[in-house]
């Protein structure tokens, strides 16, 4: 069944009004759904509904709620991924795949070696990135939407407030412990992992993270790009937590 997104403010009195131009276009012109056709709607609070199309107007579609669907079990780990912003479309790939995997929170990070020059206060990219996340939620049948924070400097990520049971930083150097061994040696339900840029973190950045309780971990013998590293680290953590 086709899935679409709608903000909860448009869900009331056993009906849903979709007036977002992109979603409306997808329903009418891409999926070519008609009156009485069935579809699923999910909102930003993690609720999902089975609906049927009641009527169309030029700028909206009215849906009738048939039933609210049961929410899947919550993942066994609350995972935040603080990832250096990659250039080009590769950060879109990071957002898409981390959403599919079930990451709870995605934190775009600006480091000393981050190539894209992004203003920490910029909102345009954040808005576009959110569209990538929503599309990945629809494709993967994920109900809850991962939190996407504003772009943060590394020092702000290091001093994040929160009850993280485990704080990791991916950094390849002599003495770095394989990520799986660190997971096996700790009990956790909440994790944050830092992933560096193409040129990796500087030694001073790693030292800064260590001073805030981050453990340097190895992701293997090969040098991974930022998108590969973030996907691999998240997969290992979620797979281990769910095993």
Which CATH number belongs to the domain containing residue 19 in this structure?
2.40.240.20
Is residue 172, in this structure, part of any structural domain at all? yes
In the predicted structure, residue 123 carries a pLDDT above the cut 70 = no
What confidence tens digit (pLDDT) does each residue in 159-185 have? 887 779 999 999 987 778 999 999 998
- Residue 238 and residue 100 in contact, taking contact as beta carbons nearer than 8 Å: no
* 41-97 tens-digit pLDDT: 998 888 899 999 999 998 999 999 999 987 665 567 899 999 999 887 889 999 999
* Listed residues 68, 101, 118: the one ending a domain: 68
Same domain, 132 and 193: yes
Residue with tokens 């576009």: 128
Residue 242 confidence (pLDDT):
83
Q: Are strands 11-12 and 15-18 parallel, antiparallel or unpaired?
A: antiparallel
Domain span at 9: 3-68
Q: Note whether 62 and 37 are same-domain residues.
A: yes
Residue 176 tokens read as: 């770095």
In a domain, 133, yes or no: yes
We report the CATH number of the domain holding residue 141 as 3.40.1280.10
Where a domain ends, among 33, 68, 103? 68
Q: Is 88 exposed, middle or buried (0-12, 13-18, 19+ CB in 10 A)?
A: exposed
pLDDT single digits (tens) 200-229: 899 999 999 999 999 999 998 888 999 999
Q: For residues 237 and 232, give the distance between their C-alpha atoms in angstroms, rounded to a whole number.
A: 9
């Amino acid at each position: 069944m086709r899935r679409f997104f709608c903000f909860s403010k448009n869900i009331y009195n056993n009906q849903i009004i979709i007036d977002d131009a992109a979603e409306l276009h997808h329903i009418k012109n891409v999926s070519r759904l008609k009156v009485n056709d069935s579809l699923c709607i999910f909102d930003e609070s993690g609720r999902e509904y089975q609906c049927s199309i009641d009527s169309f107007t030029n700028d909206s579609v009215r849906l009738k709620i048939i039933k609210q669907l049961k929410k899947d079990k919550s993942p066994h780990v609350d995972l935040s991924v603080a990832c250096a912003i990659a250039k080009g479309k590769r950060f879109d790939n990071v957002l898409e795949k981390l959403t599919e995997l079930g990451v709870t929170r995605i934190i775009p990070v600006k480091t000393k070696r981050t190539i894209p020059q992004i203003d920490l206060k910029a909102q345009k990219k954040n808005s576009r990135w959110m569209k990538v996340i929503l599309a990945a939620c629809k494709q993967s049948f994920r109900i809850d939407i991962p939190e996407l924070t504003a772009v943060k400097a590394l020092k702000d990520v290091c001093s994040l407030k929160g009850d993280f049971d485990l704080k990791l930083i991916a950094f390849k150097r002599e003495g770095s412990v394989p990520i799986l061994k660190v997971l096996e040696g700790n009990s956790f339900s909440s994790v944050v992992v830092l992933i560096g840029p193409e040129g990796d973190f500087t030694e001073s950045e790693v030292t800064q993270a260590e001073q805030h309780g981050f453990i340097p971990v190895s992701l293997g013998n090969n040098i991974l790009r930022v998108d590969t590293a973030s996907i691999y680290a998240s997969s290992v953590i979620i797979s281990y937590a769910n095993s």
